[in-house]
Structure 1
Amino acid sequence: MEVTVELVGEATRELDVEPGATYGELLADFDVSPHEVSVLVDDRPVPEDQPVDAEHVRVVRLIKGG
């Protein structure tokens, strides 16, 4: 399955995803930790351990500070 993964403001990649792959596995191509981003499908967050079932995924870096 072809999936477009957009790391908002940084990069967009077309990935060939194997059946059963999770949203968290998509992050490996971007070298980001699941702790520093949110994965969005249709502008709604999805768990990183959920199997991929969307053709377009947005990854947004979380901002922290204090």
Structure 2
Amino acid sequence: MDVTAEVVGEGTETLALADDATYADVCRAVGYSPHEVTVLVDGSPVPEDAPVAAPEVQVLRLIKGG
């Protein structure tokens, strides 16, 4: 399955994922841990363990600091 992933502020890439891929797999495919980012579908966050059902997603880096 091909999924277009926009990493907000970094660019867009097309990912070739297994048919049973989860949104955590999307995170890893763009080089991040699921703990560092959240995946958005149509502007809403999706659970990392949910199967990928959208052809286009946004990956938003979570910022932590002090």
TM-score between both structures, scaled by the size of structure 1: 0.88
1:62 — aligned with what?
62
4+ residue stretches of structure 1 with deviation over 3 A? none
Instruction: Give the fraction of aligned pairs with identical amino acids, expressed as a percent.
Output: 56
User: 2:61 corresponds to which letter in structure 1?
Assistant: R
- 1:8-23 to 2 correspondence within 5 Å? 8-23=8-23
Task: Confirm or deny: 8 A CA contact 2:27 2:37 kept in the other structure.
Answer: no
1:27 — aligned with what?
27
Unaligned runs of 5+ residues in structure 1 are: none
TM-score between both structures, scaled by the size of structure 2: 0.88
In 2, Cα distance between the equivalents of 1:28 and 1:65? 22
User: 2:10 corresponds to which letter in structure 1?
Assistant: E
In 2, Cα distance between the equivalents of 1:58 and 1:35? 15
User: 1:34 corresponds to which letter in structure 2?
Assistant: P
Q: Post-superposition shift, 1:36? A: 1.1
2:53 aligned counterpart, secondary structure: coil
